[in-house]
Amino acid sequence: MLKVEEQTPVVFSSELLAKFDEVKSRYPADKSKSALLPLLHLVQAEFLWVPTSAMDKVAEYLNIQPIEVYEVATFYTMYFLKPQGKYALEVCRTGPCCLVGAEKILSHLENKLGVKEGEVTADGLFSFRGVECLAACGFGPVLQISPEYTFYENLTEASVDKLIEDLKNKS
């Protein structure tokens, strides 16, 4: 994975551009803007967030104005517009998960990681935030980890501890 800073021009690899081409082929030739959301996901999977310079390059690729990319990237919640931890943990904080203890999990994560919601740990490994319904209400509390969106259900404080340790050991 590349690490890029806000103003650093990004480089799209030939592999990434090949994926872009495959996605673009799914739509009528004159409707390639439809590829915008999937392309932004690909960019985020590559760089772990979506820098402005990458949005500009996506606009160029799709032959649309940069503002058309910005307005989409800022409307949807999944696109990170600033760097996150290598493991960005997202805990569902909506009604059904809260009925079975989601707030405690969020609180526990804050204590465990020693950072506030939205911040990144000093080692760059973790960030976390509460998100709205993840559509797994019967198996709550739940969390997911981008960019793969691996999913963890029926969380307890102990299972969160184990998850954090496993991720640390993996890095």
Binding residues: 92, 97, 133, 137
Distance (Å, whole) CA 45 – CA 57: 16
Choose, by CB under 8 A, the member of 94, 112, 119, 167 that binds other proteins. 94
Return the range that interacts with other proteins (CB under 8 A); candidates 8-16, 66-74, 119-127, 162-170: 66-74
Distance (Å, whole) CA 158 – CA 79: 30
Choose, by CB under 8 A, the member of 43, 89, 106, 143 that binds other proteins. 106
Classify 87 in phi/psi space as left (phi over 0), alpha (psi -120 to 50) or beta: beta
- The H helix count followed by the E strand count for the chain is 7, 4
Tokens matching residue 73? 């990237």
| Interaction between residue 134 and other proteins (CB under 8 A) | yes
Question: Taking the complex as a whole, how short is the minimal distance between the CB of residue 56 and other proteins, in angstroms?
Answer: 16
| Interaction between residue 132 and other proteins (CB under 8 A) | yes
The dihedral built from the CA positions of residue 35, 40, 41 and 43, taken in this order, carries a sign that is positive
Return the range that interacts with other proteins (CB under 8 A); candidates 7-15, 89-97, 118-126, 160-168: 89-97
| Interaction between residue 136 and other proteins (CB under 8 A) | yes
Distance (Å, whole) CA 32 – CA 161: 44
Q: Where are the alpha helices (DSSP H) in the chain?
A: 14-24, 36-47, 52-62, 66-75, 95-99, 102-113, 157-170
Choose, by CB under 8 A, the member of 17, 18, 21, 31 that binds other proteins. 31
Return the range that interacts with other proteins (CB under 8 A); candidates 8-16, 118-126, 149-157, 161-169: 149-157
What does the binding site for other proteins look like in residue numbers (CB under 8 A)? Answer: 26, 28, 31, 33-38, 40-41, 62, 68, 71-72, 75-79, 93-96, 98-100, 102-104, 106-107, 110-111, 117, 130-140, 144, 148-151
